[in-house]
Chain A
Amino acid sequence: MTDTASKPGQTEVWITGIGLATSLGEGLDANWAALQEKRINVDEKGFAPYVVHPLMPVTFDSQIPKKGDQRQMEAWQRIGTYAAGLALDSAGIKGNKDILSKIDMVIAAGGGERDLNVDTGVLTAEAKGANAPGFLNERLMSDLRPTLFLAQLSNLLAGNIAIVHGLGGTSRTFMGEEVAGADAARIALARIASGESDIALVGGSHNGERKDLLVLYEFGDFNLKDKFAPVWARKDHAGFALGSAGAFLVLESKAHAEARGAKPYAKLSSVVADLARRKQPGDMTATLEKLWAKLPKREGKGAIITGATGAEPATSEERGFLKSHADFPVRSTGTVFGHAMETQFPLGIALAALSISRGALFPPNDSTGTEIEMQGAPTQIVVVGAGHWRGEGMALVEAV
C-alpha cells in the first residue's frame, strides 16, 4: 500500500549522481579504494568507552565557499551540505540553474547537536544550589547562541543545501531514525515514477561524534563499547558504533537524464518500507520477508547490502532473514562506516549503485563468515535497512 516500484507505463528512475563524505573519505574513488583495501576508520579512544567512526576531515570550503554559511551550521549540516554538493557535481548539474530551480529535495534528518557547555553549565549550577524559578530561563537566554536553533532544526539541512547550492524546487524533510532514509527514497521514487517530479536530491547526513547522541542511545544500551568488532561478530557484545557520514543521491527519470545526456550509475527499481510491531521474536524477520517478497523479481546476479546496526535483538532478527537468502552475498555498511542512522539507507543505495557501476561488489569485511566473496558483476542489489528500534526498509537497485 505504501510501496513504490516502477510499474508498467511508469518511467524508469535512474541514479545519476552520488555524493559521499564518510569516515573513509570523500568522493566515490576514496570510498571505493578504502572498501577494496578493507580499511575501517574507527576511534575507540576519543569517546571511550564508546566506539565511533569519525568523519575523515574534508575541506568544507570546496563545497561551502562562504565561511558565513559554514558558521551558521553545526557539523551534521556541514557534512550533509558538503555531500549534497558532491552528488550534484557527480550528476553534472552543479550550478545548472534550470535544473536546480526545479529539483525536489527529500531529506532524511535527525536533529542538530546541543551546546554541551550550556547543558552542563546549567546542571552544574543547579547541583551547586541554583534554584531560583527563572534560573533555567535566564541561563538559556544569556548562554544559547541565537542561531544555534537553526543549526539544530531538522529541516534546516535541506534549508542549508538550498541556500548553498541554489536549489529552488521543493523541500521535504523526513524524520524517524533509520527508516526515514528509506521513506525519503521511497517517496522521491514514487514521485518521479508517476511523473510528479523529474529529478530529486535524496539523502541525509549524520554526525556520530556527539556525546548528546550517545546519551540518547545509552538510555537504551545501544552503544557499542570498548572494542570494535564487525557487526556480525557482536552477538555477545551488542551495539552500534555511531558513524559520521553524508550520503546523497540524484534520482532522475530516464527521459530527463537522457535529454541532458546524463549517464546512470544504476536504476532504482523499487523501495518498500514497513513498521513491524516487534512484540514477539520473529516479528521483524517476518516483516523483512514480506518486504523481500514485494520487491520486483530478482533474476540477475544478486547481492544484499544491509545497514544492520549490531544492536540486539534487531540484528539477530535480520540474521534470521539473511539465513533464508544465504545464496546472496551480503555486505554490512555498519561494520565499515559505523551507524549513521537516517543516512544509513541512502548510503546503502549509494554503495549498491557504485558497485553496479564499477562491475563488482566490494569485498567482505567480516570475521564470522556471514559475508562471502562474490565473483562477477552484480546486476541486482537489494538494500536492507532495519532500524535499531523500529522501522524496516528495502530497495532494489539494478543495472541499467
Chain B
Amino acid sequence: MTAPRDKLGRPVVVITGMGIMTSLGAGKADNWAKLVAGESGIRTITRFPIDGLKTTMAGTVDFVSVDPFSSTALSERMAELVTQEALEQAGIGAKADFPGPLFLAVAPVEVEWPQRRELGRAVGQLDITYDDLLRISGGGKYSAYHHRFMFGSVAAHLAETFGTKGSPISLSTACASGATSIQLGVEAIRRGETDAALCVATDGTVNPEALVRFSLLSALSTQNDPPQAASRPFSKNRDGFVMAEGAGALVLESYEAATARGAKILGVIAGCGELTDSFHRTRSSPDGKPIIGCMNKTLADAGMTPDQIDHINAHGTSTPENDKMEFNTTSAVFGELAQKIPVTSNKSMVGHTISAAGAVEAIFSLLTLEHQRIPPTINYETPDPTILFNVVGNKARDARVTAVMSNSFGFGGQNASLILTREPA
C-alpha cells in the first residue's frame, strides 16, 4: 500500500474499525463464524403476539434488552454496541472524543404502540379520540417520550457518547441507508473536511405495525415454517424478504491519517455510487437503467472495470422482483462475467436488516476480503433457472477475492453500490 490518493487524485478512504450485530449474534467473530457455517438467524417472533399475522418470523435481535422497550431504543442500543466494537478495533481518538463527524442510517422514528396504548389507558374512558390523547399528553408526565421519539434522538445520543464532531446526520434512503451513510463519510474525507468519519447504521424495527406495513405491500415471505428456510434468495420458490434487525459501524479514515498513526487497515472503500429511479414508489424501472447506471457509476468512481470485481455481495432480498432485476442489471453491466463472478446474499441467513443492511453487508464483504472465503447463500435448493448467477449456494467457498461490489436497492427509487477492496487500486 503506497498510494495515499486514488486515480482521481482524491484521498484514499480506508476502514480501520468495524462493529456488527445481527440476529446471528454480537460482534465480528461470532457473526463471521455463524455466517460461514451457513447458520440462520431467522426465527419465530416471540417479542409480541403473532396471532393474525401472515408472516410470523423475523431476524430479531433478542439478546439485547432495553427498558422501556421501543424500536428506537433498541436501534440506539445496538448502534452504541457496534460503535464501541468499531472504536476498540480502530483505537482512534480518545474516550468520548472521536475526531470526525457521525453519519447515521436509522429507520424513521415515530411514537410506537406501547406508548400510544399507555396514553389510551391514561385517558380512562371508553371512547378515545386524538383530542383526548392531546389533553393528557402535556404537563411533563410524558416528556421522556418527546425526547425518545425525536428523529435526531439516536444520532444525538451517539454523538454525545462518542464525542463525534459537528452536527451528526441522521439519514434514510430506505433499504440503501447503510450504504448512504458510508458514502457520506467517504465524500467528507475525499473533500478534505475531515480525516476520519464514523458511519453507523442500525435498525431494530421488528414491531407489529412495521411488520404489517410490509405485509400489506406483499413484500414479506410467508413461508413461516421452518423460519430458517424462509429467506431463499435466487431460488425459484422465493416469495419475499424476511424482516430483520441489526447494526453495523465503520470507522473510515484517510489512508494518510490511518498510516500516520500506525492503524491497521482493514480494507478500502474504492468506490461508491448511487442513482435514483423515478419509475415507481416500490418497483424498479423495468429496463433496469437506474440500477445499471448505479453500478456503472460505482465502477467509474473506483476507476475499475467489471473484470476487476471478483465477488458480488448482492442486495438479494429474496423477493421475486428484486433478485431477477438484480441478475438482469448485473448482466447488463458485467456481461458474461455476471454468470462467473461468485455471488452471495447474506440476507439468506440474517434476513433484511433494512436501514442497516448496506453497512452490515459492507462489513461482511470486508470480512470476506480478510478471510478469502465467501459466505454461502443458504436455502439454495431450487435455483431459479432464469437467474444464472454463480451463486455460492449453501456452503461457504474459499476464493481469491480482491474487490467486492456490494449493492443496496430501496423503496423510493434508492439505489446505492459500494466497491470494497483489500488495498488501494
Q: Within the assembled complex, what's the spacing in Å between the Cα atoms of A266 and B406?
A: 40
Question: Chain B residue with minimal CB distance to A225?
Answer: B138
Q: Is the CB of B276 within 8 A of A175?
A: no
Question: Which residues on A sit within 8 Å (CB–CB) of B144?
Answer: 219
Q: Is the CB of A175 within 8 A of B172?
A: yes
A111-B108 contact given A105-B276, A180-B151, A274-B167, CB 8 Å threshold: yes
Q: Does B261 interact with chain A (Cβ within 8 Å)?
A: no
Give 1 or 0 for each of A181-198: 1 = CB within 8 Å of chain B CB: 011001100110010100
Q: Does A155 contact B (CB under 8 A)?
A: yes
Q: A385 to B140, alpha carbons, bound, how many Å?
A: 25
The answer to whether B260 has its CB under 8 Å from any CB of chain A is no
B148-179 to A contact mask, C-beta < 8 Å, 1/0: 01111001100110000111111111100000
Q: How far is the CA of A135 from the CA of B51 in the complex (A)?
A: 8
> Are the C-beta atoms of B137 and A168 separated by less than 8 Å?
no
Of residues 108 through 147 on chain B, the ones whose CB sits less than 8 Å from some CB of chain A are: 108-111, 113, 116-117, 119-121, 123, 125-131, 133-134, 137-140, 142-147
Q: Which of A138, A153, A159, A391 has the most CB of B within 10 A?
A: A159
Q: Which residue of B lies closest to A171 (CB)?
A: B276
Given contacts A153-B108, A180-B152, contact A119 B276 (CB under 8 A): no
Q: Is the CB of B193 within 8 A of A4?
A: yes
Asked if B109 and A214 sit within 8 Å, CB to CB, the answer is no
**Out of A111, A146, A196, which one reaches B109, CB within 8 Å?**
A111
Is A127 part of the binding interface, using a Cβ–Cβ cutoff of 8 Å? Answer: yes
B383 in contact (CB, < 8 A) = no
Number of A-B contacts (CB under 8 A): 267
Once the chains bind, are A1 and B209 in contact (CB under 8 Å)?
Answer: no
Does residue B414 face the partner (Cβ distance < 8 Å to A)? yes
B-chain residues with CB within 8 Å of residue A105 when the two chains form the complex = 276
Evaluate contact between B167 and A137: CB separation under 8 angstroms.
Answer: no
Q: Does A134 contact B (CB under 8 A)?
A: yes
B65 at the interface (CB under 8 A from A): no
Residues of A within 8 A of B212 (CB): 137, 140-141, 144
> B134 and A1: CB pair below 8 A?
no
User: Which of A126, A175, A223 is B170 in contact with, Cβ under 8 Å?
Assistant: A175
Taking the complex as formed, is B274 at the interface, i.e. its CB lies under 8 A from any CB of chain A?
yes
| Cross-chain contact A173 with B173 (CB below 8 angstroms) | yes
CB <8 Å contact, A1 and B193: yes
User: How many whole Å from A283's CB to the nearest CB in chain B?
Assistant: 12
Residue A167, interface by CB 8 Å: yes
Q: Are B123 and A175 in contact (CB under 8 A)?
A: no
Q: Are A168 and B51 in contact (CB under 8 A)?
A: no
- Please state if A211 and B213 are interface contacts (CB–CB under 8 Å): no
The verdict on A152 contacting chain B, using a C-beta distance below 8 Å, is yes
Are B146 and A160 in touch, CB under 8 angstroms?
no
Known contacts A119-B116, A175-B152, A219-B137: A128-B276 contact under CB 8 Å: no
Interfacial chain A residues near B116, Cβ < 8 Å: 119, 123
Whether B44 is near chain A, meaning CB under 8 Å from some CB there, is no
Which residues 53-70 of B have a CB within 8 angstroms of A? 53-54
The answer for the CA separation of A111 and B327 in the assembled complex, in Å, is: 33
A2-B166, A168-B275, A171-B412 are contacts. A389–B138 as well, Cβ < 8 Å? no
Q: Which of B110, B129, B209 contacts A111 (CB 8 A)?
A: B110
- Nearest to A223 among chain B residues (CB) is B138
Q: Is B226 an interface residue (CB 8 A)?
A: no
Residue in chain A with minimal CB distance to B297: A170
Q: Are A174 and B169 in contact (CB under 8 A)?
A: yes
- Identify the stretch in B184-192, B306-314, B342-350, B395-403 within 8 Å (CB) of chain A at 4 or more residues: B184-192
Report if A275-B159 is in contact (Cβ < 8 Å); known contacts: A2-B188, A389-B146. Answer: yes
A residues near B216, Cβ cutoff 8 Å: 141, 144, 146, 149
B165 to chain A, nearest CB (A): 4
- B281 and A72 contact, CB distance less than 8 A: yes
CB atoms of B147 and A220 under 8 A apart: yes
Complex interface bits, B263-281 against A, C-beta within 8 A gives 1, otherwise 0: 0000000000011111111
A393 located at the interface, meaning its Cβ lies under 8 Å from any Cβ of chain B in the complex: yes
Q: Which of B106, B129, B142, B173 contacts A172 (CB 8 A)?
A: B173
Interface residue? A363 (CB, 8 A)? no
CB of A126 within 8 A of CB of B412, answer: no
Answer yes or no: A27 CB below 8 A from chain B CBs.
no
Contact assessment for B111 and A212 in the assembled complex, using a CB-CB cutoff below 8 Å: yes
Contact indicator A183/B167 (Cβ below 8 Å): yes
Within the complex, the shortest CB–CB distance from B240 to chain A, in Å, comes to 15
CA distance A216 to B153 in the complex (A): 13
- Known A153-B412, A167-B278: A144·B167 in contact at CB below 8 Å: no
Tell me the bound Cα distance from A120 to B155 in angstroms. Answer: 31
Query: A32 to chain B: closest CB distance in Å?
Result: 31
Give every chain B residue within 8 A of A327 (Cβ-Cβ): none
Selected contact of B191 from candidates A175, A182, A190, CB within 8 Å: A190
| Residues of chain B from 182 to 210 with CB closer than 8 A to chain A in the complex | 184, 187-188, 191, 193-194, 208-209
Question: Would A150 and B411 be within 8 Å (CB), given that A220-B147, A390-B156 are in contact?
Answer: yes
* Bound CA–CA A218/B146 (angstroms): 8
B109 proximity list for chain A (CB < 8 A): 111, 175
Query: Do A218 and B147 touch (CB < 8 A)?
Result: no
Q: Give the contacts of B211-259 with A (CB-CB under 8 A).
A: 212-217
Report the bound CA distance from A322 to B155 in whole Å. Answer: 28
Nearest neighbor of A342 in chain B, beta-carbon distance: B151
Quick check: B106 and A275 within 8 Å, CB to CB?
A: no
Q: Which residues of chain B come closer than 8 Å to A119, judged between CB atoms? A: 116, 130
With A116-B130, A127-B123, A162-B276 in contact, is A219–B170 under 8 Å at CB?
no
Asked if A140 and B208 make an inter-chain contact with CB atoms under 8 angstroms apart, the answer reads yes
Query: Which listed residue, B113, B165, B167, B180, touches A179 by the CB 8 Å rule?
Result: B167
| A171-B274 contact in complex given A1-B100, A120-B128, C-beta closer than 8 Å | yes
Tell me if A124 is interfacial: C-beta within 8 Å of chain B. yes
The answer to whether B151 and A153 have CB atoms under 8 Å apart is: no
Please state if B166 and A275 are interface contacts (CB–CB under 8 Å).
yes
The answer to whether A248 has its CB under 8 Å from any CB of chain B is: no
Contact flag A2-B193 (CB < 8 Å), given A144-B212, A176-B152: yes
| Shortest Cβ distance from A105 into B: residue | B276
Q: For the complex, is A3 an interface residue (Cβ under 8 Å from B)?
A: yes
B413 within 8 A of A: yes
Q: Is the CB of A126 within 8 A of B120?
A: yes
Q: State in angstroms the CA–CA spacing of A179 and B150 once bound together.
A: 12
Chain B residue at minimal CB-CB distance from A106: B171
CA distance A159 to B412 in the complex (A): 4
- Are A2 and B160 in contact, CB atoms less than 8 angstroms apart? no
- B286 CB–A CB distance under 8 Å: no
Name the distance in Å between A113's Cβ and chain B's nearest Cβ.
Answer: 10
Can you list 9 A-B pairs with a CB-CB distance of less than 8 A? A2-B167, A111-B109, A144-B209, A172-B180, A177-B152, A182-B167, A183-B167, A219-B149, A273-B166
Please name 17 further chain A to chain B contacts, defined as beta carbons within 8 Å, in addition to the given A2-B167, A196-B187, A214-B134, sorted by A numbering: A1-B166, A120-B129, A123-B128, A124-B128, A134-B51, A134-B53, A137-B50, A148-B213, A155-B411, A169-B275, A180-B169, A187-B169, A190-B188, A215-B134, A274-B167, A277-B160, A387-B152
- Of all A-B residue pairs in the complex, the 3 with the closest CB atoms, nearest first, are A134-B51, A2-B166, A159-B412
